[in-house]
Amino acid sequence: MVNIRNLWKYDGDRPLLRGISLSVAPGEMLGVIGPNGSGKTTLVRLLSAEENPEAGEIRLGGRPLTEWSARERARQMAVLPQEGLPPTPFTVEEVVSMGRHPHRGWWPWSGSRDAEAVEQVLEETGLQSNRNRRVDRLSGGERQRVAIAKAMAQQPRLLVLDEPTTYLDIAYQLSVLDGIQQWRRREGLAVLVILHDLNLAAQYCDRLLLMKEGALFAEGTPGQVLTPERIWEVYGVQPVLTEHPVTGAPQVLLTSGEQAPAENRESAVPFPL
Ligand SMILES: Nc1ncnc2c1ncn2[C@@H]1O[C@H](COP(=O)(O)OP(=O)(O)OP(=O)(O)O)[C@@H](O)[C@H]1O
């Protein structure tokens, strides 16, 4: 669905992305992980055509991203930025309806088709009872659910999410990721998701891409990528790796820096910063 080849992005002469290549197939969920400042959001900004790379190419559905109009692109790809939905005074239903914008035509029957699509999404996301509530009166978790519902109404083939679970409690984290999981299985949606939580990334993603200083450090299944050595090299922490007793996914357990072996402490991120 999306193919990225040898992508470079600079801020002046400082490289923010160094030759990133990746692809996400229909029905696949690719997790992008890496420490703060490693270039994950920069990658999303290029993918959403908010900024252009200095070198390299992004192809969406086989065609260069630069050849798609904004409206055509929005029918293929929905992007949920790190900030999530702004707290607008619009109602839940109005915001979800905005997701239909790229599909709206001027012929008379398109309106009823849009209304049906919105109704279905409100039902699937359990937002029917909240449809008349103003988005700026919702909690962060509720707002994130509306953001996902709006993206669903957009009916994209690729969904790009920048840290969708960061401010959510554990129930909302599962609800958002389970919802996306069902959606991609049902529709063959391709998903690229940035996650800081390595355990959630290991549970939900087919493949992980680990970034360090703007470059691709490792790529593979969660079991291949999440090794104690790599986590040490990239994050500077000494984890204990275990297996989830139910799903078998690798799980990363952290001990405090005090408990890390003494020989490793020097290169760990110091505190105070
Ligand atoms: N608009 C910008 N102009 C110039 N440099 C930027 C800009 N945005 C981010 N950067 C720099 O690019 C690098 C990568 O930032 P980016 O936000 O992509 O990292 P990230 O991996 O998403 O981090 P985080 O996990 O903290 O969100 C950082 O060094 C950052 O300071």
Tens digits of residue pLDDT in 95-153: 999 998 888 765 555 567 788 889 988 998 889 999 999 999 998 888 988 999 999 99
Q: Kindly indicate whether the ipTM for this predicted assembly is greater than 0.85, answering yes or no.
A: yes
One domain for residues 247 and 208: no
Ligand 1 center–CA 101 separation, angstroms: 30
Closest C-alpha to ligand 1, atom 18: 39
Q: Does the CB atom of residue 39 touch ligand 1 within 6 A? A: yes
Closest C-alpha to ligand 1, atom 25: 36
Question: How is residue 183 written in tokens?
Answer: 């959606």
Report CA Rg, the chain: 20
Q: Which atom of ligand 1 is nearest to the CA of 211?
A: 21
231 domain-assigned: no
**pLDDT-wise least confident of 81-90, 120-129, 187-196, 262-271:** 262-271
One domain for residues 36 and 148: yes
Give the CATH number of the domain where residue 124 resides. Answer: 3.40.50.300
Ligand 1 center–CA 118 separation, angstroms: 35
Q: Does the CB atom of residue 11 touch ligand 1 within 6 A? A: yes
Percent of the chain with pLDDT over 70: 91
- Over residues 51-87, the pLDDT tens digits come to 999 999 999 999 999 999 999 999 999 999 888 888 8
Ligand 1 center–CA 213 separation, angstroms: 10
The whole domain housing 269 covers 236-273
Taking the C-alpha atoms of residue 186 and residue 55, their distance in angstroms, rounded to an integer, is: 36
Q: What is the mean pLDDT of the chain?
A: 89
One domain for residues 104 and 211: yes
Q: Does the CB atom of residue 195 touch ligand 1 within 6 A? A: no
36 domain-assigned: yes
Mean of pLDDT values over 1-12? 96
Closest C-alpha to ligand 1, atom 16: 39
Ligand 1 center–CA 178 separation, angstroms: 28
One domain for residues 11 and 69: yes
| pTM, to two decimals | 0.90
Are β-strands 2-11 and 158-162 bridged in parallel, bridged antiparallel, or unpaired?
A: unpaired
Domain count, the chain: 2
- Following CA atoms 40, 12, 68, 94 in sequence, which dihedral angle do they give, to the nearest 10 degrees? 60
87 domain-assigned: yes
Closest C-alpha to ligand 1, atom 12: 16
